[in-house]
């Protein structure tokens, strides 16, 4: 972690209402004079203090105590504004996990651009998608704050290759904004009244986990499977349309099972809907429209490795859905980009979004350091790109190459792990097999 990043992390920890202003001023004034090891110890101490505060804040459930805690946080934010530039990310880091809503302590910090900047700290290379998500959630927040005013609802459909962050982006967003989040796997959906997973299960799960939820984000994953030949189900489509409604209601069971089941209604204005899928069937539709006299993208006008997603238009989805009402209720269609080597490298080397961070934390808890070298990163990328594994592949490969050291962590004589080319090659069986074959 570079010094600029650790300085930022230290200041982020200062938005802790349990810290005195004089102490915060002293930290900022002397920060540049401290060594890297001193900063690391300071950050660890501040994080421990923040954890204690969060545990205390979580216990303030009664309305009067909740308001007192919100007032305390607001006062601390105003105090810190005189010491450094406070960002939405700083405040979200404070309230995350406490049950305290960002709208109750810092509504002025919310804007589509600020929300997008926070998501982009965790999701690399998908700005078009993350910025569209940011606008959706901002509209949802404003609608929740002004229930008596007619405001727009923006449903979003995201399409593109798998393994590039469609689901992860929404998980980050929901956690960041303290909004209930549920995924509906459309690949296994059945209509209401039939045994099996249904759309309303998302609300049932949310109710079981938190009976007081007022807003929810539902991600309909693999929604393109609903429109595959042989699967199309008009009843499920009508149920989906109800969730996309601006100002309606949907019913859900308060528990699973057949006994003592009650039903509740939930307003669709409080549901943020994102539909996601690969939509590979677009390829044939786009080919017919762009090159009506050619087969696919094999003509001289277009290389064989063309990305057909570049040519997709809203009208192409209308041909898939065969339902104008569905197309009309989706406010925006946005694509996710396939992972390039540069994007994957940026993710792997990111100080906020890299999949290596959990492993670094694991070994740190056992007094060990982990260093990823440039040649080690390139060897990992070689394997991920060859197998077309996407971001999930980065996580999988890191787990594979580090599992031996993780297993003997308490019996290891080493205090450091250097993930270089040799280390990756030694711990990936497929690379060893290739080497022996040569």
At 433 the pLDDT is 47
At 378 the pLDDT is 94
At 109 the pLDDT is 93
Quick: pLDDT tens for 103-158.
899 999 999 999 999 988 888 889 999 999 999 989 888 888 887 778 888 899 99
Tokens 């099972």 belong to 257
At 437 the pLDDT is 42
As given in the structure block, the two tokens for residue 155 are: 């449903």
At 68 the pLDDT is 92
Task: Please say if the pLDDT value at position 24 is more than 50.
Answer: yes
Main-chain phi, psi angles of 352, to 5 degrees:
-120, -20
Task: Please say if the pLDDT value at position 81 is more than 80.
Answer: yes
Task: Please say if the pLDDT value at position 58 is more than 50.
Answer: yes
pLDDT band at 23 (very low <50, low <70, confident <90, very high): very high
Task: Please say if the pLDDT value at position 297 is more than 60.
Answer: no
Quick: pLDDT tens for 236-262.
888 899 999 988 899 998 988 777 889
At 339 the pLDDT is 83
CB neighbour class for 86 (10 Å; exposed up to 12, middle 13-18, buried from 19): buried
At 192 the pLDDT is 65
**Rounded Cα distance, 220 and 167, in Å:** 10
At 194 the pLDDT is 61
The rounded mean pLDDT for the chain is 86
State which of 103-107, 178-182, 336-340 shows the largest mean pLDDT. Answer: 103-107
Quick: pLDDT tens for 189-238.
766 666 567 889 999 999 998 887 888 899 999 999 888 876 667 788 88
At 17 the pLDDT is 95
Q: At what angle do helices 341-349 and 390-407 cross, to 10 degrees?
A: 40
- Other CB atoms within a 10 A radius of the CB of residue 225 amount to 15
State which of 70-79, 303-312, 346-355, 411-420 shows the largest mean pLDDT. Answer: 70-79
């Amino acid at each position: 972690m570079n010094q600029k990043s650790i300085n930022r992390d230290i200041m982020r920890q200062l938005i802790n209402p349990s810290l005195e202003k004089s102490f915060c001023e002293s930290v900022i004034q002397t920060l540049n004079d401290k060594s890297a090891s001193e900063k690391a110890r300071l950050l660890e101490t501040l994080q421990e203090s923040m954890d204690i505060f969060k545990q205390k804040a979580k216990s303030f459930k009664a309305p009067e105590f909740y308001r007192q805690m919100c007032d305390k946080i607001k006062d601390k934010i105003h105090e810190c504004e005189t010491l450094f530039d406070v960002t939405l990310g700083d405040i979200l880091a404070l309230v995350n996990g406490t049950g305290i809503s960002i709208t109750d302590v810092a509504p002025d910090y919310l804007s589509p651009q600020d929300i997008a900047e926070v998501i982009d700290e965790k999701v690399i290379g998908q700005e078009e998608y993350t910025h569209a998500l940011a606008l959706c959630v901002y509209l949802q927040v404003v609608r929740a704050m002004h229930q008596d005013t007619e405001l727009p609802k923006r449903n979003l459909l995201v399409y593109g290759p798998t393994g590039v962050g469609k689901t992860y982006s929404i998980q980050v967003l929901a956690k960041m904004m303290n909004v209930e989040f549920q995924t509906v796997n459309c690949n296994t959906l059945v209509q209401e009244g039939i045994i099996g997973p249904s759309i309303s299960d998302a609300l049932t799960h949310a109710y079981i986990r938190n009976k007081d939820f007022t807003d929810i984000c539902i991600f309909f994953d693999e929604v393109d499977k609903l429109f595959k030949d042989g699967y199309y189900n008009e009843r499920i489509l009508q149920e989906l349309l109800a969730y996309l409604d601006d100002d309606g209601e949907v019913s859900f069971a308060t528990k699973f099972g057949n006994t003592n089941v009650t039903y509740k209604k939930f307003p669709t204005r409080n549901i943020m809907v994102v539909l996601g899928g690969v939509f590979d069937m677009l390829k044939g539709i786009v080919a017919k429209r762009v090159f009506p006299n050619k087969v696919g993208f094999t003509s001289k006008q277009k290389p064989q490795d063309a990305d057909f997603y570049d040519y997709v238009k809203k009208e192409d989805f209308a041909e898939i859905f065969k339902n104008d009402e569905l197309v009309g209720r989706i406010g925006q269609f946005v694509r996710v980009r396939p992972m390039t080597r540069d994007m994957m490298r940026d993710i792997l080397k990111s100080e906020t979004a890299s999949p290596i961070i959990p492993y670094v934390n694991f070994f740190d808890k056992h007094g060990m350091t982990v260093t990823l070298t440039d040649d080690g990163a390139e060897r990992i990328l070689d394997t991920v790109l060859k197998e077309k594994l996407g971001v999930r592949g980065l996580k999988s490969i890191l787990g594979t190459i580090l599992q031996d050291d993780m297993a003997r962590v308490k019996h290891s004589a080493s205090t450091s792990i250097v993930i270089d080319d040799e280390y990756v090659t030694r711990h990936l069986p497929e690379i060893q097999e290739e080497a022996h074959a040569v």
